[in-house]
A and B are shown apart, each in its own frame.
Chain A
């Protein structure tokens, strides 16, 4: 077990190293640095700015400096938003995104597991067909479409829900609905097929024969086994919610990290792009490792390699 964890963490570190190299190379491939603007800036000023942000040094040195600072928790300065550090920006926007994403994942998991189980238990009946049609549609509709439609119907036409920001719980309804739409549909399908598998197993027949209470049979015997594939989906789900939130945050004007990321990419804010990408990558890669380890812990049948 420990060997497995060490191995996974080592690969995770390698991945993060790779991502940081890719990001760094890409950022430096863009011609036209961050100091280009409409006003003509004198070469001396540009030089002075470059020295201030450490951009005058050779690239490998810049990379090492950046990574050294990053590991020590200093994510650098934002070039466009003068005076603000990347730490400041990341840590003020990330909790917003994390909260939104967390709630969405929770909603998707609960709804998906319940709907999938209901569909499996009513296999072939109208409830099953209805849920399958809904979830098939759900997989095909991109999150920005869902978000825009919610915005028109409930925000603009019906004036039922607020459309800007995240001030009250009511503000959360539309972004969460938009973000959890696809994962809910996906989990429903996943849960249905794994639940059907579980219900066909011999131990369920044995439990039935022994006269086990229906609820105990369902929740203790079938559900616990059926939910395992769903757990493996949590990793990709995290990635989905994170990237999905780029769009949702843009549509609902939520001051989260996703919106910040898009802004700093289009504004060519090198240090911000570097630190945001690596921050998100570290988060995602380690969450995936965590999910994988949990997955192996939950199901003792899976051999640790």
Chain B
């Protein structure tokens, strides 16, 4: 900068001020940066998501439900299949005579927040376990759909031509298979073979704990539900593969597998996340539907659908037994739907209506 006191004499003088040529200090350098910190795709999406109040509330509900489903049962005083003698058919917050006696003796008894069922099982813990089943089904089934659908769609989209034709015709056919019919069929027919398999082979012993009903739900999902995902991914890959970075990767000698795994799929990450999230409520819905019909989880395991169906028996006396699991399932589906919508708006603002 010109020092006014020293250099007042002649504005056209060629005499130079040495200070002007000193290296800039860090502060000065900082003041010259006019650009904001560059945002990445992720940061941008998260920022948009944070602004969306509905999606954030839905996210909070999901976290809360997950907390109740996975963490609370481990320190909850009752067990989902624990039948407390003498405490059958209690209303919410009611105590049985035995429990009242122990309270009068100074012992503390945890209240049955939602009452108990006709076997003396605490409904609160059963609803939580049911929510755990729903969430597990939703998350695992969606993950399977993501895995199969994205790989299948990417291969079809990337290779194009005849490969694409044949692969997409298969998708078309599976797409028009009435899913619920096949799911119910599979559900019934897979039960016995799977049980035999688990019994005979010790390698599958871990799976037995999960339950045959759930495993067959996962199988049906991985057989039928990936087609939607495959179609969406294929569409994305078709446009992406024409871009320069793919040509560049090819020129550098990348194999087809590398191009798909390292260049194409990471570029559809937004779509993949959104579609997977929106798949979760549909999986939860299907599980509840099957359990309601008595085709889902096995007794004494509880699922939100089977709890609602069990409640139908004593509906006039104990309506809350139906209301609690129904509200839980609706809340879970609703929050996943809203959160998924929020994610879509955040990752792909063009789609916003």
- For residue B285, CB closer than 8 A to chain A, the reply is yes
- For residue A284, CB closer than 8 A to chain B, the reply is yes
Q: Which B residues are in CB contact (< 8 Å) with A281?
A: 177-178, 181
- Checking A29, A32, A140, A144 against B333 with a beta-carbon cut-off of 8 angstroms, the contacting residue is A140
Q: Which A residues are in CB contact (< 8 Å) with B294?
A: 266
- For residue B322, CB closer than 8 A to chain A, the reply is yes
Q: Which A residues are in CB contact (< 8 Å) with B329?
A: 142, 145
Please report the C-alpha to C-alpha distance between residue A54 and residue B143 in the assembled complex, in whole angstroms.
43
Instruction: List, sorted by A's number, 8 A–B pairs whose CB atoms are closer than 8 Å.
Output: A15-B176, A140-B331, A144-B288, A144-B305, A145-B308, A145-B329, A152-B315, A251-B312
Per-residue B-contact encoding for A276-298, CB less than 8 Å = 1, 0 else: 01001100110010000000000
Q: Are B177 and A156 in contact (CB under 8 A)?
A: no
Q: Which A residues are in CB contact (< 8 Å) with B285?
A: 142
How many pairs, one residue from A and one from B, have CB atoms within 8 Å of each other in the complex? 127
Assuming A19-B178, A139-B337, what are 14 further A-B pairs, CB within 8 angstroms? Answer: A15-B176, A22-B177, A29-B190, A30-B189, A144-B309, A157-B319, A239-B178, A239-B180, A243-B178, A246-B184, A247-B289, A262-B184, A262-B293, A288-B176
Q: Majority SS of interface residues in chain A?
A: helix
List residues 237-287 of chain B with CB under 8 A from any CB of chain A. Answer: 281, 285
What are the 10 A-B residue pairs with the smallest beta carbon separation, nearest first? A140-B334, A243-B180, A26-B189, A145-B326, A140-B333, A141-B330, A284-B178, A156-B316, A144-B292, A15-B176
Q: Are B173 and A15 in contact (CB under 8 A)?
A: yes
Chain A: CB-nearest residue to B54: A136
Query: What distance in Å separates the Cβ of B237 from its nearest Cβ neighbour in chain A?
Result: 20
Please report the C-alpha to C-alpha distance between residue A277 and residue B322 in the assembled complex, in whole angstroms.
31
Query: What distance in Å separates the Cβ of A196 from its nearest Cβ neighbour in chain B?
Result: 7
Q: Are B193 and A31 in contact (CB under 8 A)?
A: yes
Chain A: residues with Cβ within 8 Å of the partner, total of 48
Please report the C-alpha to C-alpha distance between residue A22 and residue B331 in the assembled complex, in whole angstroms.
35
Q: Are B185 and A136 in contact (CB under 8 A)?
A: no
Please report the C-alpha to C-alpha distance between residue A196 and residue B353 in the assembled complex, in whole angstroms.
9
- For residue A137, CB closer than 8 A to chain B, the reply is yes
Q: Which B residues are in CB contact (< 8 Å) with A139?
A: 333-334, 337
Known: A31-B192, A148-B315. A246 touches B293 (CB 8 A): yes
Please report the C-alpha to C-alpha distance between residue A145 and residue B289 in the assembled complex, in whole angstroms.
10
Chain A: CB-nearest residue to B195: A31
Chain B: CB-nearest residue to A149: B326
Q: Which A residues are in CB contact (< 8 Å) with B181?
A: 19, 243, 261, 277, 280-281
- For residue B188, CB closer than 8 A to chain A, the reply is yes
- For residue B172, CB closer than 8 A to chain A, the reply is yes
- For residue A265, CB closer than 8 A to chain B, the reply is yes
Q: Which A residues are in CB contact (< 8 Å) with B177?
A: 15, 18-19, 22, 281
- Checking A19, A144, A247, A266 against B188 with a beta-carbon cut-off of 8 angstroms, the contacting residue is A266
Please report the C-alpha to C-alpha distance between residue A209 and residue B169 in the assembled complex, in whole angstroms.
47
- Checking A23, A149, A247, A288 against B293 with a beta-carbon cut-off of 8 angstroms, the contacting residue is A247
List residues 126-159 of chain A with CB under 8 A from any CB of chain B. Answer: 136-137, 139-142, 144-145, 148-149, 151-152, 156-157
Query: What distance in Å separates the Cβ of A287 from its nearest Cβ neighbour in chain B?
Result: 10
Q: Are A265 and B178 in contact (CB under 8 A)?
A: no
Please report the C-alpha to C-alpha distance between residue A139 and residue B341 in the assembled complex, in whole angstroms.
13
Chain A: CB-nearest residue to B333: A140
